[in-house]
Structure 1
Amino acid sequence: MQQLDIFADSRDVMLRNDVSECLQQRDTASARSALEALAGEYPDDVDLPALTVLVDALEAKAVVRFADHEALAVARRALANEVVPAAVRVLPRHAAQPLVASLWRSLALRAAALPFSAAADDCHAAPLWLRAGDWEAARECVKGIESWWHLAAPLAWMTEACYRADGLDAAWPLLAELAWLAPARFVALLPVLGDASLDALRRRFDAEFPGKGDSEDFRFFPAWLVLVKPVLAGRLAEARVRREHKPSRATALLSEILRREREGDQHELVGLREQLCRLHGGLFDIYMSTRKVQHR
């Protein structure tokens, strides 16, 4: 019976681990040497392509700033589509994220001088800082964009940064502003945040709100929240009201109606309710149904 040579049969594992360890330590020269040793002895190793991608990425980590948005777009696609999947494939879970974060951080630093462009709204340093997990850097970056709260992408970035840094309660005003301004962006952000309570509210809104069934309905999500979660009225009142937008006015109007109800001001309530009915009949119906339940 042939005896198993444990060292020989685990040689490939040892060489792969050597590359992995060097990558985790950001030791570029040693990572290249370990990779060449693995390729020399096991040229058909199943993990060799992914490890090569990671070593190449570590070597290519540059400090030269991007000349334009297109250069950043190319580098971003390569990192997202090639490097990140390679790291997930061959590195331990606890090690893949820090390596990938360091590469996103490098891109963010190189993109620092690029201005915001609506035509290439993902080619900016702010979303790269978010990918790197540096919420404060992302916030500071967004603050450098003129009138960022009027722009869909920067407002979405600021909303995510606020949520990551301070939690859902702090993010409600920005979530409301994003829903009013860019409902499609708002809907796209929800799975990114992955907040269980927010997802539950989204499902309830989908089931209850009398809209068209598309993302545009979510412009009225903050107003609907005032009705189904009155405890949030105070937080939502901190959002920058857009008087020219019906959804924003509806949210402010419902908050005012709730305040008048608490004060027992029946005379003012009549006029405010009429305004709500003219503004959005569906919201008015939801409002009246909640009042009927309360007074049964």
Structure 2
Amino acid sequence: MDPARDAIPDQELRPLVDRLLLEQGRLDPLELLLAADLLGYEDYVAWRTGGRSDLQGVLRASPKAIAGFLEDAGVYARGQKLVAVALSHNAWGDRERPLSIGPHTELSRACTLVYAPPPERCQLDLFQDSTALLLEEEVRTALVEHRMDRARDRVARLMHHEPGHPRLGGFLRLIQTLDDVDAVGRDGRVEERWRELEGIGPLAGELLGHRARDFLGTLWAGLAECLTGRAFGPGSGDFHAAIAWTRAGRWERAREAIESEPDWLDQPVLVLVHAEACWRVRDPFGARRDWLWLCREYPSAAERAFRAPAFPDRRLADLWAAFGDLGLEDELATEDFPAWLLLEDPKAFAVIRETGDTSSDDRATAYRLLHALVSGDDTIDRRRELGEIQPILLKQFLAYRRHA
């Protein structure tokens, strides 16, 4: 076992548990692992759909550490007067079967306990908490787990029991969306399907809550398959397999789809999606390489990305802010940011791509010179050459050396 996998990333456990309880009304162990980035959604879906025999092998920490993390969460949940309820895990689809967490006993046990309010605290109206509510919950479960026959059966029962049920029309619309899956591939209605899935999103969220993610994710994945091979270019809009894969939460597939485009580095939109995909699959080197490429080739796109509140690399965002605070706008531009980063951490930021003949590119030359200088190959000739093409970077380097 890799010792690094024994360490759980630093998490603020209590706020995370509180957020899940607020959003979902209970603490599900697998939802907690997804929220804590200890389980990738792509791996979770593969397990649920039969692509993996267990979850243990894809967890982002050791089984022992994960089990301890879940136990700590359980202790906190019990302190909130929640009670542990047995939980089973079954495959999605009409062929329902039990799923295995893995051979680790403590991990398996921790993953089969969900924490929820005790019955006396649910505060449900006994006149309403009856057949209609039970059927409604069964419809939700069938939809998110893509059990088509069961969803139709439970909706039919609900229609018979309460013809005027306020959510009946919405459930029927979601079922119709599932029914349309085969027609998309057969008729090639990919753009129409794209708009349909975008339009159905709010309704799915209203009816299915956080598990709309699972309902919609499978549909977006199906659309992404239909879009495979469709080139990205002017006029194509967002209708590209990579974008659909991101909406399905399948970030590795999104990255693969982008890399299949021969000139994807010339499309800032695709570079940004590729960067996020790298970050989501825990490849910060690849993500930073993309963002710093944009600094050199499409600086305005990089600037917008760094300023976005949702930009995922907080360290890079903070360094971008520090770069701006230097007050050297007239001497250092966004294109110089990758070189300046070498002064902060050459190991973390020596990632920029080099393509084509850069012999006449002063910024590329300055980057290579500065990289050599901070890597220990510090010579008078290199300092002199850097000073001739970018004197402010030489000045920054000398200050860096004085404080090293």
User: Which TM-score applies when normalising by structure 1?
Assistant: 0.75
Identify the residue that residue 140 of structure 1 maps to in structure 2: 256
Q: Which residue of 2 aligns with 1:43?
A: 164
| Residue 132 to residue 29, structure 1, CA distance change in 2 (3 Å) | same
Gap runs ≥5 in structure 2: 1-123
Q: Residue 145 of structure 1: SS of its match in structure 2?
A: coil
The answer for the alignment partner of 2:399 in structure 1 is: 292
8 Å Cα contact 1:50-1:86 kept in structure 2: yes
Match for residue 281 of structure 1? none
Report the counterpart of residue 267 of structure 1 in structure 2: 381
Q: What residue is the counterpart of 2:203 in the other structure? A: 86
- C-alpha change, 1:103 and 1:275, in structure 2 (3 Å) is same
Post-superposition Cα deviations, 1:175-201, rounded to whole Å, max 9, x if no partner, equal 221332233443555555523323333
Provide Cα deviations, 1:220-273, integer angstroms capped at 9, x if missing partner.
33223123333335333xx224637665454334324434xx334113311221
Shift of 1:48: 4.3
| 1:58-207 paired onto structure 2 within 5 Å | 58-62=178-182, 64-65=184-185, 71-80=189-198, 82-93=199-210, 95-187=211-303, 189=305, 191=308, 194-207=312-325
**Post-superposition offset of 1:275:** 0.9
Q: State the Cα distance separating 1:104 from its structure 2 match.
A: 1.0
Q: Tell me the CA shift for residue 206 of structure 1.
A: 3.9
Tell me how far apart the structure 2 counterparts of residues 15 and 8 of structure 1 sit (CA, whole Å).
12
TM superposition shift of 1:84: 2.5
Go from structure 1 to structure 2 and tell me whether the alpha carbon gap of 1:276 and 1:113 turns closer, same or farther (over 3 Å shift): same
CA separation of 1:145 and 1:5: change in aligned 2, threshold 3 A: closer
For residues 142 and 281 of structure 2, what CA distance do their matches in structure 1 show? 31
AA at the equivalent of 2:384 = V
Give the RMSD, CA atoms, in angstroms: 3.4
Structure 2 counterpart of 1:148, one-letter code: W
Counterpart for residue 280 of structure 1: none
Write the deviation string for residues 158-179 of structure 1: whole angstroms up to 9, x where unpaired: 3233222242134322222133
Identify if the C-alpha distance between structure 1 residues 105 and 189 changes in structure 2 by more than 3 Å, giving closer, same or farther. farther
In 2: Cα distance, 1:37 partner to 1:15 partner: 7
Shift of 1:109: 0.8
TM-score where L is the length of structure 2: 0.57
**What letter matches 1:210 in structure 2?**
L
Match of residue 55, structure 1, among 175, 184, 189: 175
| Cα pair distance change 1:156/1:292, threshold 3 Å | closer
Query: By how many angstroms is 1:103 displaced?
Result: 1.0
**Partner residue in 2 for 1:208:** 326
2:206 counterpart letter in structure 1: R
1:30 aligns with 2:150: yes
User: Any conservation in 2 of the 1:163–1:171 contact (CA below 8 Å)?
Assistant: yes
What is the deviation of 1:9?
Answer: 4.6
Letter in 1 for 2:164: P
Question: What CA distance in whole angstroms lies between the structure 2 residues aligned with 1:247 and 1:124?
Answer: 33
What is the rounded CA distance, in whole Å, between the counterparts of 1:138 and 1:209 in structure 2? 38
1:97 to partner: Cα distance: 2.0
Equivalent position of 2:68 in the other structure: none
Q: Is the 8 A contact 2:243 2:254 kept in 1?
A: yes
Distance 1:88 1:292, change over 3 A: same
For residue 374 of structure 2, what is the aligned residue in structure 1? 258
Aligned length: 274
Alignment-derived partner of residue 83 in structure 2:
none
Q: 1:276 aligns with which of 381, 387, 390?
A: 390
Deviation at 1:145, TM superposition (A): 1.5
Say if 1:182 and 1:11 are closer, same or farther in 2 by CA, change over 3 A.
farther
Contact 2:275 2:286 in 1 (8 A): no
Which is richer in helix?
1
Asked if the contact 1:205/1:221 (under 8 Å) is kept, the reply is yes
CA distance in 1, matches of 2:230, 2:187: 8
Deviation at 1:154, TM superposition (A): 3.0
